[in-house]
Amino acid sequence: METLVKPELLAPAGCMQRLRTAFAFGADAVYIGGTKFSLRKNADNFNAKEMRQAIDLAHSLGRKVYVTVNVYPLERDMPELPTYLKELDAIGPDALIISDLGVMRLAKEHTSIPLHVSTQASVLHEHTANWWKALGAKRIVVGRELSLDECQEIRQHSDIEIETFCHGSMCTSHSGKCVISNYTAGRDSNRGGCVQTCRYVFDVHDPDTDAVDYSAPIMNSKDLMSLQLVESFIRQGIDSLKIEGRMKSELYVATVVGAYRRALDAVFDQLQNGKEASVDIEAEMREIERMSNRQFTTGSLEERAFASSINYDFPGYQKSHAFAGQVLVVIPDEALLVQVRHPLKEGDQCDFVTPSGVSTEIRLENMADVNGNGLENMPPNRILRLPFVDAVSPLSVMRLRLTEAVCT
């Protein structure tokens, strides 16, 4: 029988709560940004104390934390880098994710932390993969331009670990390197400042008459989804599947991580032990489609991304459900305390999505504040007390069914 290895499931964690959520819903590892040299300037990010807490929690659960140090720094940034790297060495994450050769050199000099080469470094073939390995990298995150077959070719000619993106936002740049935002908004994409200019609606003019031929978001990539390719990822020996989205909500982390966890476990069990797969991949995909998305594509994983990977219909997002809140405390047989993230009112239809994969529908009634005072409306960022619901555990997420699907 073929020897297979189950890929690691690697989730984004923009803050401590999303890190806890990712682990509760089945992530094997998370990647986080520190306060410097990370590409998500607008994520909450982790200071040294929070990073220590995150790593302690991860290790207590047998999971891992990788820290991004993946900007392409300028000369003026470099004096600060050795001190930051020494701080990280003392904190002890399981890997640093780097893009720049100079950063790698300094990381090797000032830390003993394993190094993963970011997708930003455009590793697209075996020669680059092997060169990074010779330089001391443990893993490459291949460029999103690669198909699964091309990943397998690297796998066959290199024994470096291979990580590939399986889900999340895509963009029409080469391996994430882009200056459209720099030119149009003065914000540097390569330093975490991207304003997503590629999502704008552009007027396309007839070259002869100069009349507007049509207007559309012509560079607006659909989001990546590859749940249906989990079997190929396993068969092709991909070591780690990465979910994009350090800026996304707890609902996104819970839903996407939960779906890929169930798919990976069931498909692996089927391939390894001949058990019938106990997961309905299409149903899992429909759950993901309920959340904010730009429509879905498999990117370049099956065939080169082309016009079919662009969402020409709308520049923003569509969704049928909103992130309503997250369960902080369960008082058995009595109440749930929910951190509210969206305005709610008596009679709203919601679902709880739990780490065990159970989805429970409820109609909001007998709402109360944290002190038990009844109320009919609840604004965001408050604690809502609801009657106990069986099977709902702490960190379960609550989503609100919108009366009609929203498209922005």
- Name the residues that contact ligand SF4, by CB under 6 A: 171-173, 178, 180-181, 189, 194, 196-198
Tell the smallest beta-carbon distance from residue 149 to ligand SF4 (Å): 25
Burial classification of residue 175, based on how many CB atoms lie within 10 Å of its CB (0-12 exposed, 13-18 middle, 19 or more buried): buried
* Cβ-based nearer residue to ligand SF4, 178 or 353: 178
Structure tokens at 152: 């397998």
CB of 39 to ligand SF4, least distance (A): 10
Q: Is the Cβ of residue 195 or residue 337 nearer to ligand SF4 in the bound state? A: 195
At its nearest, how many Å lie between ligand SF4 and the CB of residue 282? 29
- Chain residue at closest Cβ approach to ligand SF4: 171
Q: Which is nearer to ligand SF4, 54 or 180 (CB)?
A: 180
Pick the closer one to ligand SF4 by CB: 117 or 310. 310
Q: How far is the CB of 321 from ligand SF4 (least distance, A)?
A: 24
Three-state SS for the chain is CCCCCCCEEEEECCCHHHHHHHHHCCCCEEEEECCCCCCCCCCCCCCHHHHHHHHHHHHHCCCEEEEEECCCCCHHHHHHHHHHHHHHHHHCCCEEEECCHHHHHHHHHHCCCCEEECHHHCCCCHHHHHHHHHHCCCEEECCCCCCHHHHHHHHHHCCCEEEEEEEECCCCCECCECCHHHHHHCCCHHHCCCCCHHHCCEEEECCCCCCEEEEECCCCECEEECHHHHHHHHHCCCCEEEECCCCCCHHHHHHHHHHHHHHHHHHHHHHHHCCCCCCCHHHHHHHHHCCCECCEECCCCCCCCCHHHECCCCCCCEEEEEEEEEEEEEECCCEEEEEECCCEECCCEEEEECCCCCEEEEECCCCEECCCCECCEECCCCEEEEECCCCCCCCCEEEEEEEEEEEC
Q: Which one, 120 or 318, has the nearer CB to ligand SF4?
A: 120
- In the complex, the smallest distance separating the C-beta of residue 111 from ligand SF4, rounded to whole angstroms, is 28
* Shortest separation between residue 201's beta carbon and ligand SF4, angstroms: 14
Closer Cβ to ligand SF4, 55 or 194, answer by number: 194
Nearer to ligand SF4, 196 or 393 (CB): 196
CB nearer to ligand SF4: pick between 158 and 173? 173
Smallest distance from ligand SF4 to CB 342, Å: 26
Q: How far is the CB of 189 from ligand SF4 (least distance, A)?
A: 4
